[in-house]
């Protein structure tokens, strides 16, 4: 029963360890937990059920966000950038909430509405959060957050994504989602999808222990596996084994009939560890970071619902893995909320309050600790409602600022130099790979965010008419097949979103293959020559530029006046009017072109391939 | 491509600033003169270095190659022959290579304590033992990142043969993952047939103009990276023939040998000449549990011709001083000859051949006993070799990459280079 893991400490540790002693993990059978500091929850009100929390009953969060942000800007003597223009705002909010740029009609509609209606932004935010496309956006976001693009076939991708979609569509709370994932065993078919987190990490002990910490708590305890972390004072070996102890009794069981892998669990076994630095021995009951350890209930040791053997999946009377799910999502676990609040903030603001997202500790505190705590506490009070959190962030002035920190007087050469110098400085300090602590500058103006592979794919398809053309064709098909009933169904946004998701999936997959990083660890924004080649010469995008029916090229070619054409081109691709200089340049190309079709294609492509399109700003 | 700003340790942060400063001013980075910090100059200097690995998959026998033990119970039927280094003998299966030993070196005292293909190939190519839950970059990814050159748009980590992109760069990111090449140019590198050169120029001019305007108000390191990636792509389109081995002469194809390994080594030469920092060529079929001697006779015949031609060419072209050449496997083969005239897996006492760059020409490191069953002098393992490779191309193998705020050592910090092997 004992399992020995011999490994040179320095192989494990990514830091400069010079110790070469053994790191020993002992799983001892048959000993009931007898660790001194007994559990006992502090007095914390129970978590409200998500369904019982009414958004409108919650105090508004966004004024509090702004109060904190404005105070820190004022304290540093920094003035905030101007509010984003309506044009800037509409592109940004579509990308952040539904994962694509607005169509040209949607842009126009909003610009008209915003000119007359002071609530236009709030109404748009609510409409987007309610739309089926928000479900798709969050499906991608959560999938990347939880599975980190690692693939895996134990739970098919389609089933996992369908489960994520349903969870978002039902506006399930983050604690519900985490609870389903962390307690999953994959045994029942209908409850199998959330087991993907464990099963497609092959339930490798080191991997799942580490990733429970990273994904759900925002701490990377890898180096604390063999000793207290040498550089991070607050990452202790008992933290690693505290999480490990929830999982150490579980194991992969292959069902003889279905050949499917699932998790079984034993009713006994403790974790002990030895520091390779100090040779101190320790043991721990399951515990989450510095929350109290959880002792097994009396008399549950060795007690089974189903006793494990070769053909039977072990099911203990008391499951520590189930406990992990409960403890993780318990209201007193604020680290669980800090982690997700930080990740949602990063999604909306382009940079986490803590960076890297999974290295939160005393030596790497949040850029604004008070703000992070506020978000975490209020998220808990909302019943861990992510949609509510995104809404509140979107409503804040901090989110709705312009991404241009400086007003440029282009005519003034001296000023332009000053501006360039400060932008150079900004370019330097904004390097995603740098470890410099986030500063007040983070709150001064909206950050420029690269589009995710999926945002890029859906935006290119939106702009070039692929999405609308596909929708129209499918709607016609349905109306032809099912008559009036078909036509009615074809108007249903839920049907439309699902149908488009399926019809265009292979395109999105091609973008993801090109633009997504591999593996679990993200390294910030990256742009490679291969990706550029995909957009420069790849047959997918080149094909979409052809003037076929329903394409942007075809639509633009119908406009005879060059000035109007240039205006429409900019509005369609970039969501804004051209300035005078741009309009003049485009008109002169169109006026002098021998081949008008080719000229229109080239101009569309030039804007599509520009940084202005590639980033959310 | 990602940050050529090298790793983020304090002196390299300096380099990044200087680089950006120079680029931002609109000036061309004009060689080393622009960079006054000697540490920075050193880093750039090392960017001229390259690495080529010949990986003999399955585990080449050290006894039939670099550490023959003729006339012993383990020696097998082949003789040892003298080489261009007095006193150093290698197997008679490598007669052409023997004439180049004065440019190469041997490490004959490797003990990796492992007899498993997967683990051994990980050890040797990643410089560490594999651990669940941790991922390290391949030697090629480390070299591609550390030896990357700002003026070269070509991918830095190439595997021959192969067609796909590997996932072997771990935290360095996919841009340093291996790209498999089969002697053809990369995907999407040819201008679409319908697009004239003039039209392509026009649309790219407009793209640049749009970027210039955008960057007036919203410029970040990320937007810079993005706009640069297009310029790299366009250069790559211009240089796509680099990957087209059919552009080499018939005479060279003959000299390297009209078999896969020969053509792959010719391809490697072509890639190295074009400044690609890391190329790995694979030769298979060395897992000789049966008929070890017949197989080695056959395989090493090909290897000897291709490898010796490559080393000779690199030397003749003055490239060997800046190109590290390594011949490795996942392990060696047992001294004991089994009942099927085979040799089995053996990680306890085996050899690697290397040369070029800062490797001491003609050196022989370490020793096995009389019949090759044990290392008796200067035992080394994969971690030491990995450090040595990096040091040989002028890198500080004790240094670290800064990956999103995390320090990631270039090589296993508990090991060090074999200093006596380095010039």
> B108 vs chain A: nearest CA distance in angstroms?
24
- Selected for mutation to probe chain A from B207, B239, B416 (highest A CB count within 10 Å) is B207
Pairing label, strands B332-333, B345-346: antiparallel
> B392 vs chain A: nearest CA distance in angstroms?
22
- Predicted confidence (pLDDT) per residue in A16-68, tens digit: 333 322 333 333 333 333 333 333 334 445 555 555 566 667 789 999 999 99
Contact B222 A15 (CB under 8 A): no
- Each domain of chain A, given as residue ranges in start order, spans 9-46+136-329, 61-87+99-110+336-426+435-447, 453-616
Q: Give the pLDDT mean for B167-179.
A: 84
Q: Give the pLDDT mean for B64-90.
A: 97
Who among A7, A205, A536 is closest to B233 (CB)? A536
Alpha carbon A472 to chain centroid, angstroms = 31
Whether A117 contacts A124, CB under 8 Å? no
| B396 touches A: beta carbon within 8 Å | no
Contact B409 A14 (CB under 8 A): yes
> A617 vs chain B: nearest CA distance in angstroms?
8
Query: Among candidates A219, A249, A220, A224, which has minimal Cα distance to A236?
Result: A224
Concatenate the DSSP letters of all residues of B87-132 into one string. T-EEETT-HHHHTTGGGEEEEEEE------HHHHHHHHHHSS---T
Whether A5 contacts A255, CB under 8 Å? no
For chain B, give me the number of helices (H) and strands (E)? 11, 16
- The predicted structure's pLDDT at residue A6: 33
> B11 vs chain A: nearest CA distance in angstroms?
14
Q: How far, in Å, CA of B255 to CA of B274, rounded?
A: 20
- The predicted structure's pLDDT at residue A11: 36
Q: How far, in Å, CA of A342 to CA of A372, rounded?
A: 7
> B234 vs chain A: nearest CA distance in angstroms?
8
**φ, ψ for residue A263 (rounded to 5)?**
-105, 130
Residues in chain B: 423
- Predicted confidence (pLDDT) per residue in B185-225, tens digit: 888 999 987 888 888 999 999 999 999 999 888 888 889 88
Residue B247: C-alpha distances to residues A200, A500, B146, B188 (Å): 45, 46, 29, 19
Quote the crossing angle between the two packed helices A505-515 and A453-464, to the nearest 10°.
130
Residues with Cβ < 8 Å from A425, sequence gap 6 or more? none
Whether B354 contacts B391, CB under 8 Å? no
Burial class (CB in 10 A: 0-12, 13-18, 19+), B148: buried
Who among B188, B211, B403 is closest to A611 (CB)? B211
- The predicted structure's pLDDT at residue B174: 72
Q: How far, in Å, CA of B180 to CA of A254, rounded?
A: 36
> A327 vs chain B: nearest CA distance in angstroms?
24
Who among A206, A528, A617 is closest to B132 (CB)? A206
- The predicted structure's pLDDT at residue B19: 32
Alpha carbon A422 to chain centroid, angstroms = 31
Where does A346-460 show beta strands of DSSP type E? 449-450
- The predicted structure's pLDDT at residue A406: 58
**φ, ψ for residue B85 (rounded to 5)?**
-105, 115
- Predicted confidence (pLDDT) per residue in B98-112, tens digit: 999 999 999 999 999
Residue B284: C-alpha distances to residues B53, B60, B63 (Å): 14, 9, 18
CB-CB neighbors (< 8 A) of B158 in chain A: none
Who among B170, B205, B217 is closest to A408 (CB)? B217
Contact A529 B21 (CB under 8 A): no
Query: Among candidates A124, A192, A116, which has minimal Cα distance to A155?
Result: A192
CB burial string A533-569: b at 16+ within 10 A, e below: bbbbbbebbbebbebeebbbbbbbbebeebeebbbbb
- Classified as helix, coil or strand, A427 is helix
CB-CB neighbors (< 8 A) of A615 in chain B: 218, 222-223, 226
Tokens of A7: 């490994």
For chain A positions 408-447, those within 8 Å of chain B (CB to CB) are 408, 410, 416, 419-420, 423-424, 426-428, 430-435
- The predicted structure's pLDDT at residue A4: 31
- Classified as helix, coil or strand, B407 is strand
**How many CA within 13 A on the CB side of residue A455?**
25
Residues of chain A with pLDDT under 50: 1-44, 407-416, 418-419, 429-438, 519-521
> B157 vs chain A: nearest CA distance in angstroms?
13
- Predicted confidence (pLDDT) per residue in A368-396, tens digit: 999 999 999 999 999 999 999 999 999 99
Residues in chain A: 617
- Selected for mutation to probe chain A from B15, B405, B412, B413 (highest A CB count within 10 Å) is B405
- The predicted structure's pLDDT at residue B343: 97
Q: Give the pLDDT mean for B347-372.
A: 97
Who among B173, B406, B412 is closest to A10 (CB)? B412
| B413 touches A: beta carbon within 8 Å | yes
CB burial string B304-330: b at 16+ within 10 A, e below: bbbbbbbbbbbbeeebbebbbbbbbbb
Bridge partners (DSSP) listed for residue B400: B409
Tokens of A256: 């003889």
Closest residue in B to A450 (Cα) is: B222
> A406 vs chain B: nearest CA distance in angstroms?
7
- Classified as helix, coil or strand, B377 is strand
- Predicted confidence (pLDDT) per residue in A76-90, tens digit: 888 899 999 999 999
Contact B220 A427 (CB under 8 A): yes
Contact B412 A11 (CB under 8 A): yes
- Tokens 């009942």 sit on residue: B339
Residues with Cβ < 8 Å from B111, sequence gap 6 or more? B347, B348, B349, B375, B379, B380, B381
**How many CA within 13 A on the CB side of residue A154?**
25
- The predicted structure's pLDDT at residue A54: 62
- The predicted structure's pLDDT at residue A388: 97
Enter the DSSP assignment of B185.
P
Q: How far, in Å, CA of A545 to CA of A541, rounded?
A: 6
Q: How far, in Å, CA of B155 to CA of B160, rounded?
A: 13
What kind and span of H or E run contains A28?
A: strand A25-28
What kind and span of H or E run contains B191?
A: none
CB-CB neighbors (< 8 A) of B21 in chain A: 424
Who among A16, A431, A582 is closest to B409 (CB)? A16
- Domains detected in chain B: 1-45 (no CATH), 47-184+245-421 (3.40.720.10), 187-243 (no CATH)
Tell me: pLDDT of B177 over 50: yes
Burial class (CB in 10 A: 0-12, 13-18, 19+), A59: exposed
Residues with Cβ < 8 Å from A491, sequence gap 6 or more? none
For chain B positions 54-113, those within 8 Å of chain A (CB to CB) are none
Burial class (CB in 10 A: 0-12, 13-18, 19+), B246: exposed
Tokens of B220: 């970040």
Q: How far, in Å, CA of A414 to CA of A231, rounded?
A: 46
- Predicted confidence (pLDDT) per residue in A526-555, tens digit: 787 888 999 999 999 999 999 999 999 999
- The predicted structure's pLDDT at residue B95: 98
> A513 vs chain B: nearest CA distance in angstroms?
11
- Tokens 């800007």 sit on residue: A73
Q: How far, in Å, CA of B109 to CA of A616, rounded?
A: 56
Q: Give the pLDDT mean for B357-377.
A: 97
pLDDT band for position B43 (50/70/90)?
very low
| B45 touches A: beta carbon within 8 Å | no
- The predicted structure's pLDDT at residue A56: 64
The three-point CA angle A382-A388-A390 to 5° equals 130
Whether B378 contacts B110, CB under 8 Å? no
Contact A410 B216 (CB under 8 A): yes
Enter the DSSP assignment of A216.
I
ipTM of the complex: 0.85
Count the Cβ atoms, other than its own, within 10 Å of residue B182: 12
- Predicted confidence (pLDDT) per residue in A239-276, tens digit: 999 999 999 999 999 999 999 999 999 999 988 888 87
Contact B221 A432 (CB under 8 A): yes
Of the ranges A68-82, B46-60, B378-392, which is most confident? B378-392
Who among B199, B225, B413 is closest to A17 (CB)? B413
Q: How far, in Å, CA of B388 to CA of A130, rounded?
A: 59
- The predicted structure's pLDDT at residue A111: 96
Q: How far, in Å, CA of B27 to CA of B34, rounded?
A: 10
Where does A423-546 show beta strands of DSSP type E? 449-450
- The predicted structure's pLDDT at residue A50: 52
Alpha carbon B265 to chain centroid, angstroms = 13
CB-CB neighbors (< 8 A) of B210 in chain A: 606-607, 610-612
CB-CB neighbors (< 8 A) of A614 in chain B: 223, 226
Contact B16 A538 (CB under 8 A): no
- Selected for mutation to probe chain B from A201, A427, A578 (highest B CB count within 10 Å) is A427
Quote the crossing angle between the two packed helices B221-238 and A413-429, to the nearest 10°.
90
Residue B184: C-alpha distances to residues B168, B191, B200, B230, B262 (Å): 22, 15, 23, 21, 16
> B167 vs chain A: nearest CA distance in angstroms?
7
Tokens of B50: 């390259």
Who among B129, B216, B229 is closest to A529 (CB)? B229
Contact B188 A430 (CB under 8 A): no
Contact B192 A531 (CB under 8 A): no
Q: How far, in Å, CA of A473 to CA of A481, rounded?
A: 12
Tell me: pLDDT of B16 over 80: no
- The predicted structure's pLDDT at residue A543: 95
Residues with Cβ < 8 Å from A52, sequence gap 6 or more? A383
Closest residue in A to B166 (Cα) is: A518
CB-CB neighbors (< 8 A) of B172 in chain A: 523
For chain B positions 187-246, those within 8 Å of chain A (CB to CB) are 187-192, 194-195, 199, 202-207, 209-211, 213-230, 232-237
Who among B17, B129, B216 is closest to A408 (CB)? B216
């Amino acid at each position: 029963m004992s399992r020995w893991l011999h490994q040179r400490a320095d192989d494990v540790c990514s830091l400069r360890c010079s110790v070469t002693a053994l790191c020993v993990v002992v799983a001892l059978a048959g000993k009931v937990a007898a660790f001194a500091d007994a559990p006992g929850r502090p007095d914390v009100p129970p978590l409200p059920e998500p369904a019982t929390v009414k958004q409108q009953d919650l105090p508004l969060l966004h004024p509090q966000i702004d109060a904190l942000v404005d105070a820190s800007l004022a304290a540093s003597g920094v003035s905030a950038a101007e509010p984003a223009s309506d044009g800037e705002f509409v592109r940004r909010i579509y990308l952040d909430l539904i994962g694509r740029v607005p169509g040209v009609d949607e842009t126009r509609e909003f610009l008209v509405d915003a000119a007359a209606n002071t609530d236009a932004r709030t109404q748009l935010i609510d409409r987007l959060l309610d739309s089926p496309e928000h479900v798709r956006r969050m499906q991608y976001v959560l999938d990347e957050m939880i599975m980190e693009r690692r693939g895996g076939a134990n739970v098919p991708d389609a089933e996992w994504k369908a489960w994520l979609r349903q969870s978002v569509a039902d506006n399930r709370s983050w604690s519900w989602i985490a609870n389903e994932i962390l307690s999953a065993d994959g045994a029942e078919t209908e409850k199998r999808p959330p087991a993907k987190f464990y099963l497609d990490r092959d339930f490798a002990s080191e991997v799942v222990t580490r990733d429970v910490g990273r994904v759900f708590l925002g701490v990377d305890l890898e180096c604390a596996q063999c000793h207290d972390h040498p550089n991070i004072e607050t990452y202790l070996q008992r933290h690693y084994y505290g999480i490990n102890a929830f999982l150490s009794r579980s194991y992969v069981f292959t069902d003889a009939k279905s050949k499917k892998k699932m998790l079984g669990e034993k009713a006994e076994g403790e974790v002990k560890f030895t520091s390779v630095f100090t040779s101190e021995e320790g043991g721990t009951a399951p515990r989450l970071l510095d929350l109290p350890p959880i002792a097994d209930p009396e008399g549950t040791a060795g007690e089974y619902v189903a006793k494990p053997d070769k053909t039977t999946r072990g099911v203990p009377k008391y499951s520590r893995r189930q406990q992990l799910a409960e403890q993780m999502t318990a209201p007193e676990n604020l680290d669980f909320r800090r982690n997700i609040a930080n990740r949602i903030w990063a999604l909306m603001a382009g940079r986490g309050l803590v960076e890297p997202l999974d290295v939160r500790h005393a030596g790497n505190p949040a850029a604004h600790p008070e703000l992070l705590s506020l978000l975490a506490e209020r998220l808990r009070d909302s019943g861990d409602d992510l949609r509510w959190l995104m809404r509140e962030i979107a409503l804040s002035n901090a989110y709705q600022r312009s991404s241009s920190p400086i007003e440029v007087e282009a005519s003034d050469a001296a000023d332009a130099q000053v501006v360039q110098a400060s932008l150079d400085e900004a370019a330097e300090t904004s390097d995603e790979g740098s470890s410099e602590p986030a500063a007040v500058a983070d709150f001064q103006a909206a950050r420029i965010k690269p589009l995710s592979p999926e945002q890029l794919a859906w935006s290119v398809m939106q702009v070039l008419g692929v999405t609308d053309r596909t929708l129209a064709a499918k709607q016609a098909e349905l109306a032809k097949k099912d008559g009036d009933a078909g036509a009615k169904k074809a108007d249903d946004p839920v049907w439309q979103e699902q149908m488009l998701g399926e019809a265009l999936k292979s395109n999105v997959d091609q973008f993801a293959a090109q633009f997504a990083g591999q593996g679990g660890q993200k390294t910030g924004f990256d742009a490679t020559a291969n990706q550029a080649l995909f957009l420069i010469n790849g047959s997918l995008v080149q094909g979409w530029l052809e003037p076929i029916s329903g394409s942007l090229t075809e639509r633009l070619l119908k406009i005879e006046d060059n000035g109007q054409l240039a205006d429409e081109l900019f509005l369609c691709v970039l969501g804004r009017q051209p300035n005078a200089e741009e309009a003049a340049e485009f008109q002169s190309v169109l006026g002098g072109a021998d081949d008008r079709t080719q000229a229109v294609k080239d101009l569309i492509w030039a804007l599509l391939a520009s940084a202005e399109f590639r980033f959310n700003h | 491509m990602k940050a050529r700003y090298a790793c983020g340790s304090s002196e390299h942060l300096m380099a990044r600033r200087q680089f950006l400063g120079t680029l931002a001013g609109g000036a061309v980075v004009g060689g080393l003169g622009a960079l006054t910090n000697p540490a920075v100059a050193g880093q750039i200097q090392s960017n001229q270095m390259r690495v080529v690995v010949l990986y003999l998959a399955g585990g080449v026998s050290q006894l039939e190659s670099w550490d023959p033990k003729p006339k012993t119970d383990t020696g097998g039927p082949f003789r040892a022959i003298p080489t261009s280094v007095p006193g150093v003998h290698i197997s008679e299966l490598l007669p052409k290579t023997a004439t180049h030993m004065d440019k190469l070196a041997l490490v004959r005292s490797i003990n990796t304590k492992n007899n498993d293909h997967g683990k051994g190939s990980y050890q040797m190519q990643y410089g560490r033992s594999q651990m669940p839950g941790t991922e390290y970059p391949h030697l090629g990814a480390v070299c591609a990142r550390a030896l990357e050159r700002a003026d070269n748009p070509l991918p830095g980590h190439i595997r021959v043969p192969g067609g796909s992109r590997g996932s072997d760069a771990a935290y360095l990111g996919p841009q340093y993952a291996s790209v498999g090449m089969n002697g053809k140019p990369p995907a999407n590198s040819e201008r679409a047939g319908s697009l004239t050169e003039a039209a392509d120029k026009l649309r790219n001019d407009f793209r640049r103009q749009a970027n210039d305007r955008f960057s007036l108000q919203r410029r970040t390191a990320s937007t810079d990276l993005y706009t640069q990636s297009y310029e790299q792509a366009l250069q790559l389109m211009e240089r796509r023939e680099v990957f087209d081995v059919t552009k080499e002469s018939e005479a060279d194809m003959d000299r390297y040998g009209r078999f896969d390994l020969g053509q792959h080594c010719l391809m490697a030469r072509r890639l190295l000449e074009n400044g690609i920092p890391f190329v790995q060529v694979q030769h298979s079929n060395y897992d000789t549990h049966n008929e070890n001697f017949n197989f080695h006779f056959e395989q090493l015949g090909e290897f000897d011709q291709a490898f010796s031609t490559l080393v000779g060419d690199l030397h003749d072209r003055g490239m060997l001083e800046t190109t590290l050449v390594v011949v490795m496997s996942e392990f060696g083969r047992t001294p004991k000859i089994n009942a099927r005239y085979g040799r089995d897996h053996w990680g306890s006492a085996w050899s690697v051949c290397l040369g070029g760059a800062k490797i001491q020409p003609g050196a022989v490191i370490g020793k096995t006993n009389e019949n090759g069953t044990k290392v008796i002098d200067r035992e080394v393992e994969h971690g030491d070799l990995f450090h040595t490779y990096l040091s040989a191309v002028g890198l500080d193998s004790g240094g670290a990459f800064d990956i999103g705020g995390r320090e990631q050592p270039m090589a296993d910090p508990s090991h060090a280079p074999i200093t006596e092997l380095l010039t």
